[in-house]
């Protein structure tokens, strides 16, 4: 119905132009929004406020012209001009129930559209260094990135999910040295142990498998250990492959998959780093000082220039990122969304400065970036900070093992990524209405239970009869459910456009609340229990909750959370 209302307004604007009230040059598209207060109708538009100035008339006068042009329609109970010139649309019962037929006919496709027109978009997320198990912060990035990918896919984009492995640099050297030390029975308690080496039981596991000459099969790498504790290069290769495999297993348990695994080391092997440096030097965007090569990032809004190549000849971390993004651009990704932890904030500006300095047609503000804040894990009143396996932090696998994949995914998706969050293990594991994921899944299961109950009673559900009797759905709870369902396609668009999966998580909780409220209304005199003696009313109510069940399933799928039929 929102699309219908928008079409009516566009037709009214066209007629106002034909009548000479609006100039032909006016191209403003009227905004139509769902109202929050039902006393203001089902939809509201600010069209008259937008058009008052070009029409040279007061907004309420323009609003009246628009209302007169729209006239009477069976879908509208009444049109109302409110405040300074808003137009409120009160839908008829027939219009309100149309959404039920739409949901049931579209099925799993309800809420999806082709706004992206099949254009390519790359989503880079997680991109954890292969130096240890994934922590809960990586988990938040995995959920947000995966849900953004699902939302963009649902709105017509051709999505490529990419994981960037930082398999080069000092951190990888420290990993190799840590494993080598363990191979030689040197632990954190030893005087020769370095502070920047990695601790935790997982390092001992890597060392043990290396000495046992085990074979590791990672996503695109197969390595058999040499078992030589003095061969640091062999240890490095094995350790990176080993931890890549561990991260892959964690992500698969989390139902997160990638289309591309990109290695930082490949940028060095193919000479992309040197080519980037040469291009920046040639363009006059660099200078040498105190033996280091600097990039003039202040020319692009940075607070100070940044070192690209250090005095020892090594590159700073942001230069490979510039080369990597040139690679993305050259692969044809006009749109890129990077999902990072908030600690990458300063890196974003430096990378963009480097890309602008290359002057190869990359637009300002590219790539797009979504930053997530840190996660604090609590058990009751106590913060959980470490894991025996990792040694210094809570791993993603710890959380999944304790509360399950569904709860972990929902909790990490349900809060705006720019907000810090507290992950309450006890709440996430509970089976009560206080647990939002349980509450939503129970709504889906409750609907499935109603249809099983119908079979136990020896009765059959007739959808066609239900569709023909939707005019019997006049209870307040029924109207609220239909209105909530109507909002779903718009919210999918909003969540996709703004890369905000929490919008869907919040919506599902509200829809579940409406559903549970509808069920509980059966104890009232109005009698809203779904299975009643009147077959027409019963079929209509079952048709309504069938539509709710479908929307719940579609929304949960966008979060990769299951929709159980029994709980």
pLDDT of 526 reads: 52
Instruction: Give yes or no for residue 117 having a pLDDT over 60.
Output: yes
Give the pLDDT mean for 418-424.
94
Full set of structural domains in the chain with CATH = 2-91 (3.30.1360.70), 170-253 (no CATH), 433-558 (1.10.730.10)
Give the pLDDT mean for 395-416.
95
pLDDT of 389 reads: 67
Sign of CA dihedral 152, 153, 157, 159: positive
Instruction: Give yes or no for residue 6 having a pLDDT over 60.
Output: yes
Instruction: Give yes or no for residue 337 having a pLDDT over 80.
Output: yes
pLDDT of 406 reads: 97
Q: Are strands 286-289 and 292-295 parallel, antiparallel or unpaired?
A: antiparallel
Q: For residues 153 and 77, what is the distance between their CA atoms, to the nearest angstrom?
A: 37
Q: For residues 436 and 403, what is the distance between their CA atoms, to the nearest angstrom?
A: 13
Share of the chain above pLDDT 70, in %: 97
Question: Would the pTM count as exceeding 0.85?
Answer: yes
Tell me what the pLDDT averaged over the chain comes to.
91
> CA-based angle 162:367:500, to the nearest 5?
75
SS3 497: helix
Task: Point out the least confidently predicted range of 113-127, 336-350, 440-454.
Answer: 336-350
pLDDT of 522 reads: 63
Instruction: Give yes or no for residue 182 having a pLDDT over 90.
Output: yes
Going by pLDDT thresholds of 50, 70 and 90, the confidence category of residue 38 is confident
Phi/psi of residue 338, nearest 5 degrees: -100, 125
DSSP string, 413-451: HSS-TTS-EEEEHHHHH--STTSHHHHHHHHHHHHHHHH
Q: For residues 46 and 67, what is the distance between their CA atoms, to the nearest angstrom?
A: 13
* 259 half-sphere exposure, CB direction, 13 A CA radius: 11
Give the pLDDT mean for 305-332.
92
DSSP string, 251-294: HHHTT---SEEEEHHHHHHTTHHHHHHHHHHHTT-EEEETTEEE
Contacts of 527 (CB under 8 A, 6+ apart): none
Instruction: Give yes or no for residue 523 having a pLDDT over 70.
Output: no
Share of the chain above pLDDT 90, in %: 69
Instruction: Give yes or no for residue 119 having a pLDDT over 80.
Output: yes
SS3 362: coil
pLDDT of 232 reads: 96
The residue that leads in pLDDT, 536 or 38, is 536
pLDDT of 112 reads: 97
First-last CA distance in the chain = 35
Going by pLDDT thresholds of 50, 70 and 90, the confidence category of residue 388 is low
| Nearest alpha carbon to residue 147 among 415, 327, 345, 438 | 415
pLDDT of 527 reads: 56
Q: For residues 76 and 88, what is the distance between their CA atoms, to the nearest angstrom?
A: 10
Q: pLDDT by residue (tens digit) across 250-308?
A: 998 899 999 999 999 899 999 999 999 999 999 999 999 989 999 999 999 888 899 99
Q: pLDDT by residue (tens digit) across 8-36?
A: 888 888 888 888 898 888 877 778 888 88
| Nearest alpha carbon to residue 245 among 225, 269, 270, 266 | 225
pLDDT of 137 reads: 93
At which residue do the structure tokens 């009516």 appear? 8
SS3 34: strand
Q: pLDDT by residue (tens digit) across 463-503?
A: 999 999 999 998 889 988 998 998 999 999 999 999 999 99
Burial of 492 (0-12, 13-18, 19+ CB in 10 A): buried
Give the CA distances from residue 232 to residues 224, 235, 436, in Å, rounded to whole numbers and listed in that order. Answer: 14, 5, 49
Going by pLDDT thresholds of 50, 70 and 90, the confidence category of residue 97 is confident
Q: pLDDT by residue (tens digit) across 184-209?
A: 999 999 999 998 899 888 999 999 99
At which residue do the structure tokens 């069209």 appear? 47
């Amino acid at each position: 119905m929102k699309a219908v209302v928008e079409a009516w307004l566009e037709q009214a604007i066209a007629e106002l132009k034909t009548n000479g009230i609006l100039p032909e040059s006016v191209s403003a598209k009227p905004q139509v929004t769902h109202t929050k207060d039902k006393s203001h109708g089902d939809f509201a538009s600010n069209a008259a406020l937008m058009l008052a100035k070009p029409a040279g008339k007061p907004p309420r006068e323009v609003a009246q012209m628009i209302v007169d042009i729209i006239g009477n329609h069976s879908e509208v109970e009444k049109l109302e001009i409110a405040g300074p010139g808003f137009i409120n649309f009160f839908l008829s019962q027939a219009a309100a129930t149309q959404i039920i037929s739409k949901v049931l006919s579209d099925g799993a496709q309800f809420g999806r559209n082709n706004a992206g027109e099949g254009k390519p978009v790359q989503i880079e997320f997680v991109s954890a260094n292969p130096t240890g198990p994934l922590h809960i912060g990586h988990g938040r990035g995995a959920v947000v990135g995966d849900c953004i990918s699902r939302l963009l896919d649902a709105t017509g984009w051709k999505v490529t999910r990419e994981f960037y492995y930082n398999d080069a640099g000092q951190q990888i050297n420290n990993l190799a040295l840590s494993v080598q030390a363990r191979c030689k029975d040197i632990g954190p308690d030893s005087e020769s142990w370095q502070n920047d080496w990695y601790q935790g039981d997982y390092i001992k596991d890597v060392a043990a498998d290396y000495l046992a000459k085990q074979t590791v099969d990672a996503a695109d790498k197969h390595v058999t250990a040499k078992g030589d504790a003095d061969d640091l290069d062999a240890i490095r290769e094995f350790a990176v492959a080993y931890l890549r495999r561990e991260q892959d297993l964690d992500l698969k348990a989390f139902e997160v998959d990638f289309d591309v695994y990109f290695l930082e080391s490949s940028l060095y092997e193919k000479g992309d780093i040197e080519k980037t440096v040469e291009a920046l030097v040639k363009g006059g965007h660099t200078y040498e000082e105190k033996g280091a090569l600097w990039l003039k990032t202040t020319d692009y809004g940075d607070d100070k220039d940044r070192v690209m190549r250090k005095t020892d000849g090594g590159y700073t971390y942001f230069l490979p990122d510039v080369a990597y993004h040139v690679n993305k651009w050259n692969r044809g990704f006009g749109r890129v969304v990077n999902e990072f932890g908030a600690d990458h904030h300063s890196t974003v500006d430096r990378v963009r400065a480097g890309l602008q300095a290359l002057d190869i047609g990359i637009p300002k503000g590219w790539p797009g970036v979504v930053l997530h804040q840190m996660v604090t894990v609590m058990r009751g009143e106590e913060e959980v900070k470490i894991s025996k396996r990792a040694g210094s932090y809570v791993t993603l696998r710890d959380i999944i093992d304790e509360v399950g994949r569904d709860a972990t995914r929902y909790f990490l998706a349900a809060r705006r990524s720019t907000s810090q969050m507290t992950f309450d293990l006890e709440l996430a594991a509970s089976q009560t209405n206080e647990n939002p994921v349980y509450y939503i899944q129970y709504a889906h299961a409750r609907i499935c239970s109603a249809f099983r109950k119908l079979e136990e009673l020896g009765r059959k559900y007739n959808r066609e009869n239900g569709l023909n009797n939707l005019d019997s759905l006049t209870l307040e709870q029924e109207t609220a459910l239909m209105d909530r369902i109507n909002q779903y396609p718009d919210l999918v668009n909003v969540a996709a456009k703004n890369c905000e999966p929490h919008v869907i998580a919040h919506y599902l909780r509200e829809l579940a609340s409406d559903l549970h409220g509808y069920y509980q209304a059966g104890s009232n005199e109005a009698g809203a229990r779904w299975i009643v003696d009147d077959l027409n009313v019963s079929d209509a109510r079952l048709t309504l909750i069938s539509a709710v069940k479908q929307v719940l399933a579609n929304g949960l799928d966008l979060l990769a959370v299951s929709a159980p039929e029994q709980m």
